[in-house]
Amino acid sequence: MIDYSPFWETLKKSNETTYTLIMNHHISSSIIDKLRKNKPMNTTTLNDLCRILQCNLQDIAQYIPSEEDQIL
């Protein structure tokens, strides 16, 4: 599963908040909700978050093996 807990640590270290992401950078509240709930999102959004927070992808997301992953 993709886990977005690194995003929250990166956000804390930045000059941004969820409010500024929504109001200044036009990140939707539904994207913030997806981050909170580790729901899927597209790579364009991940790219935008990396650009806004000036970080790398691993500063936003990480892969954690899970029994709930779909069967391949």
The pLDDT score that the predictor gives to residue 71 is 76
Tokens 């981050």 correspond to what residue? 35
Looking at the structure of the chain, the number of domains it has is: 1
Residue 72: inside a domain? no
The total of other beta-carbon atoms located within 10 Å of residue 67's CB is: 5
The pLDDT score that the predictor gives to residue 68 is 77
The CATH number that applies at residue 45 is: 1.10.260
What global pTM score does this model have?
Answer: 0.88
* H helical segments located in the chain: 5-13, 18-23, 29-37, 43-53
Q: What is the pLDDT of residues 5-64, one digit of tens each?
A: 999 999 999 999 999 999 999 999 999 999 999 999 999 999 999 999 999 999 999 999
Q: Token pair for residue 50?
A: 């990396």
* DSSP, res 1: -
Structural domain including 41 reads 2-63
